[in-house]
Structure 1
Amino acid sequence: MSRIERLKDEGSRSQVIISGAVAGLISRFCIAPLDVVKIRLQLQTHSLSDPLTSNGIKGPTYKGVWGTLRKIQQQEGTTALWKGNIPAELLYICYGGSQFVAYRTVSQLLSTLPKRLPPSAESFVSGATAGAAATTVTYPLDLLRTRFAAQGTEKVYEGIIASLRDISRNEGVRGFFRGCAAANGQIIPYMGLFFSSYEMFHQALGGTTLPFSGGDAIAGVLASVLSKSAVFPLDLVRKRLQVQGPTRSRYIHTNIPEYRGVIRSLIQINRREGFRGMYRGLTVSLMKTAPASAITMYVYERTLHLMMHNNHVEEA
């Protein structure tokens, strides 16, 4: 039985929820600074190779991962590297739990079909469905995370409650779901590719036969790098759409253009910034995603096994 197949059957629903939430919480805290850097780079529309595009720009110009980290720390303080961490932690907790529950539920439903799909197809369908469901349910938290991370020294929102009140009053319910189409357009192929490639890499690496259960972590890294690279332009569009609205010109980058729709945004970015513009922040995204996925899968598996072991001990 493969690792993914065991994942579908192991643990109770509450154990899966708790394990997924713990995994999301820990991985988010560890990669929060890289997430802030990624968002800042993705929202930077002026070209570093063409100085004329940055004329009249009030906000900072970021270059490279470490350069951006240093500039944020110097200009805004070390705590700025964790901007948006509260909604992000809530996002990762809710997303982690709902993702694994949805994945497990869909996988078990697929296993009852009269004619079973190939294992790789089941993993793809389960992963894509789980990703779409978790993304939609938790999307308002994702939007808040982006907007707080995009704030400079001038605060757009004073806190989470104030942001909820402001967005609701000035943008309505739809304001909380700006860019949701791009998010689902990204997450469906991403999660499908992630889970199916995780299974493939896990088997190729010998799984848990590696020291310290290294197969889980390495397979998670490889799967996340492959999946994230494939869908990155949609992730960039999502970030650009999330900061649209009446506060668009008040973030750290004051020159963010107005975007409408996923396809039109992709065309607009490609025309204005070129093909490379659609991959702004890819390097830091891979630096962030790989360890985040590795930590998530490792902590999830260890937490679930610990809870199951303790449950067996109590029953004995």
Structure 2
Amino acid sequence: MSNNKSIEELQESKIKSLFNEIDVYKTGKIDLKTLQSALDKSDHPLKNNNDAILQLFNSLDLKNDKFIDYEEFKTYFIKAEVQILNGFKKLDSNSDGKINLHDLNKILQEKNINENDKFQKFITLLTNDDPKANYITYDQWRDFLLFVPRLNGSRLKTAYEFLNSNHNVDYNSEGDITVSNDLLKGLGFFLAGGLSGVVSRTCTAPFDRIKVFLIARTDLSSTLLHKKQSLAKNEIPLDKIKSPLIKAATTLYRQGGLRAFYVGNGLNVAKVFPESAMKFGSFEFAKKIMSNLEGVKDTSELSRFSTYIAGGLGGVFSQFTVYPVDTLKYRVQCAQLDTKLQGNKLLFQTAKNMYKEGGLKLFYRGVLVGVTGIFPYAALDLGTFSAMKKWYINKEAKKQNVSPDDIVMSNLIVLPMGAFSGTVGATVVYPINLLRTRLQAQGTYAHPYRYTGFKDVLFQTIQREGYPGLFKGLVPNLAKVCPAVSISYLMYENLKRVMSLE
């Protein structure tokens, strides 16, 4: 009994010592900021990885009150140590208290999560950079994994993926896949993301077409009424149709049939690859700059904030690069469709007229307004998704009476969450996109008005249509988010398997 008590006392002493070490402000409670500070000051492998630290904090915060007290910390420690010990015993094939590195390498390969160069980095952290080490002791194993969140039932896999993740899938405001990865190694992911974007944009092109039509046309009541000869006797007069969406769709169909819904889609899909290439390249370049500013050796050690800034800069640069294509697309979509000038002839003639009217400067009309909307969109999208994810995980953890890090979110949950968060961001910044589109489309058949700049287009829009006019076309824009995300995800995952990318 005394021996057992001694073991319990030693464990209690160790837990208290560890808690006091993390409780850097000596308040008796640890919040997220305190945990981040403690890990940043240590040599913990997950320091500077705010995403991993947040997952860890949620695992420790059993009461979900945004603070970790000693009892919560103790409960986590005891449970985690039992799990880690059981995992170690499974890997310790000859029960000598050591894990052979060759055996560990083999196990990781069987789990399809290992690559040679990344395995070396992983082992360097596990063995405290000992080049002669050929095994791992239990103490090394426990100390390394103790503060790693247990996602999908495996701390080992979580640690490996957090430390060595080489690509992250996300969706932009168009519902396309965006993949941040090493450019040379990630060519396959780049192609998969680009192709999924092409399919997604083509499938949802009618929604985008109706959106642009509604943005450009300020007075739908007069749409095509002056062209009575183009309407058959049995057709419903457009002024009798109350729904703006149905009126817009009807007008487009009468102008050019089903083909009218895909005007400009060729330009839309043509820009997917260069847009992605510019985004990846500038994102990697921005991460290197941020690494120098933060004083970290590798871009994988960047804080979440700096990664977000780098991603934002990548988005700004990519949009600036393809902006002329966007302008040309909008002006083609705003041209008169019931004429002989269609297809490539309409495209080249529109480009020629634009250059003749204002040179290259005309292609960049409204660019400052356009890039301004990227950062708030990304912030709202990311913030909403993170909040929903945390709420769902905590709710399910309480319901199932398990730790939050034991909750696995299925794709059926992730997809609608992604669509909803994208909807929130897109709705808030939509007026900026509407004003940008009108600046780009000004002087066309569908939008003959002229503007001197952002203030002028804002003033004229409110004067003619009121504040609701700032949200014209929002419904079809949001209607394409869910199918766009779903199609992109479906295509991306299947293309990865076809290309043997995983």
Matched, 1:75 2:255: yes
> Are residues 97 and 215 of structure 1, via their aligned partners in 2, closer, same or farther at CA, if it must alter by over 3 Å?
farther
Equivalent residue for 1:149?
333
> What residue identity is the alignment partner of 1:25?
V
In 2, are the aligned partners of 1:193 and 1:223 still within 8 Å (CA)? yes
Equivalent residue for 2:420?
222
> What residue identity is the alignment partner of 2:419?
V
Aligned pairs for 1:160-309 within 5 A: 160-202=347-389, 209-211=408-410, 213-244=411-442, 248-249=443-444, 251=445, 253=446, 256-297=448-489, 299-300=491-492, 303-304=495-496, 307=499
> Are residues 191 and 268 of structure 1, via their aligned partners in 2, closer, same or farther at CA, if it must alter by over 3 Å?
same
2:480 aligns to what SS in structure 1?
Answer: helix
> Are residues 94 and 66 of structure 1, via their aligned partners in 2, closer, same or farther at CA, if it must alter by over 3 Å?
farther
In 2, are the aligned partners of 1:16 and 1:101 still within 8 Å (CA)? no
Residues in 2 aligned to 1:17 and 1:26: alpha-carbon distance in whole angstroms: 14
> Are residues 55 and 293 of structure 1, via their aligned partners in 2, closer, same or farther at CA, if it must alter by over 3 Å?
closer
Which stretch shifts more, 108-117 or 227-236?
A: 108-117
Equivalent residue for 1:51?
none
> What residue identity is the alignment partner of 2:350?
S
> What residue identity is the alignment partner of 1:133?
F
Residues in 2 aligned to 1:210 and 1:108: alpha-carbon distance in whole angstroms: 32
1:172 aligns to what SS in structure 2?
Answer: helix
RMSD: 3.6
> Are residues 104 and 196 of structure 1, via their aligned partners in 2, closer, same or farther at CA, if it must alter by over 3 Å?
farther
Residues in 2 aligned to 1:56 and 1:160: alpha-carbon distance in whole angstroms: 23
Higher RCO (C-alpha 8 Å, min separation 6) = 1
Aligned pairs for 1:47-62 within 5 A: 54=222, 58=226
Query: For this pair of structures, how many residues does the alignment match?
Result: 297
2:355 aligns to what SS in structure 1?
Answer: helix
Residues in 1 aligned to 2:288 and 2:381: alpha-carbon distance in whole angstroms: 19
> What residue identity is the alignment partner of 1:257?
Y
Equivalent residue for 1:85?
265
Equivalent residue for 2:215?
42
Which stretch shifts more, 201-210 or 7-16?
A: 201-210
Offset of 1:283 from its aligned partner?
1.0
Aligned pairs for 1:130-145 within 5 A: 130-145=314-329
Runs of 5+ in structure 1 lacking a partner? 49-53
Equivalent residue for 2:274?
94
In 1, are the aligned partners of 2:366 and 2:440 still within 8 Å (CA)? yes
> What residue identity is the alignment partner of 1:235?
N
In the superposition, the TM-score normalised over structure 1's length comes to 0.78
Residues in 2 aligned to 1:47 and 1:13: alpha-carbon distance in whole angstroms: 47
Deviation string, structure 1 residues 122-141 (Cα, Å, up to 9, x no partner): 45424422221111011111
> What residue identity is the alignment partner of 2:473?
G
Offset of 1:195 from its aligned partner?
4.0
Offset of 1:24 from its aligned partner?
1.7
Offset of 1:93 from its aligned partner?
3.2
Residues in 1 aligned to 2:289 and 2:415: alpha-carbon distance in whole angstroms: 27
Of the candidates 125, 129, 138, which is equivalent to residue 309 of structure 2?
Answer: 125
Residues in 1 aligned to 2:389 and 2:246: alpha-carbon distance in whole angstroms: 31
Offset of 1:204 from its aligned partner?
5.1
Offset of 1:81 from its aligned partner?
0.6
Offset of 1:205 from its aligned partner?
5.2
Deviation string, structure 1 residues 163-190 (Cα, Å, up to 9, x no partner): 3333223320111111212211222322
Equivalent residue for 2:206?
33
Which stretch shifts more, 286-295 or 151-160?
A: 151-160
Runs of 5+ in structure 2 lacking a partner? 1-51, 56-157, 169-179, 228-237, 394-404
Deviation string, structure 1 residues 107-133 (Cα, Å, up to 9, x no partner): 5764662488763x3454244222211
> Are residues 205 and 291 of structure 1, via their aligned partners in 2, closer, same or farther at CA, if it must alter by over 3 Å?
farther
> What residue identity is the alignment partner of 2:320?
T
In the superposition, the TM-score normalised over structure 2's length comes to 0.51
More helix by share: 1
Identity %, equivalent residues: 21
